[in-house]
Amino acid sequence: MENVETERSTATDESVSSRVVLRLYVTGKTPSSLRAIANVKEVCEQYLPGRYQLLVIDIYQQPVLAEEDQILVAPTLVKRSPGPPRKVIGDLSDRDRVLKGLGLWPGTEAGTED
């Protein structure tokens, strides 16, 4: 699987500083990996339009990055910034769990006021 980086951001200083940086660790082109990629992209486009960076990493091709984030299972989504790193494990089909894991659920550290 080829590493895919999707970057969505605008050029303003404010948007760059509030950009959510994510890494999605997958294992090849398995059904679970493909579902996770589709699910995380859908969540990002709906809840973080224009202010996220997503790097999809195949742990078989880049084990050093997986080791860096202490990834033991895949798919695993890691929110690297802002704030402390957070992880969500699985195919990311439970949208509420993904939003809570990313801190986008109302009442979480990075909840939105929309």
Domains, in order of start, for the chain: 4-102 (3.40.30.10)
pLDDT of residue 105: 76
**Cα separations (Å) of 104 from 49, 57, 92?**
13, 23, 14
pLDDT averaged per 10 residues, the chain (length 114): 44 58 96 96 94 96 94 95 90 92 69 36
Q: How far apart are CA 92 and CA 107, in angstroms?
A: 20
Instruction: Provide the whole-model pTM.
Output: 0.79
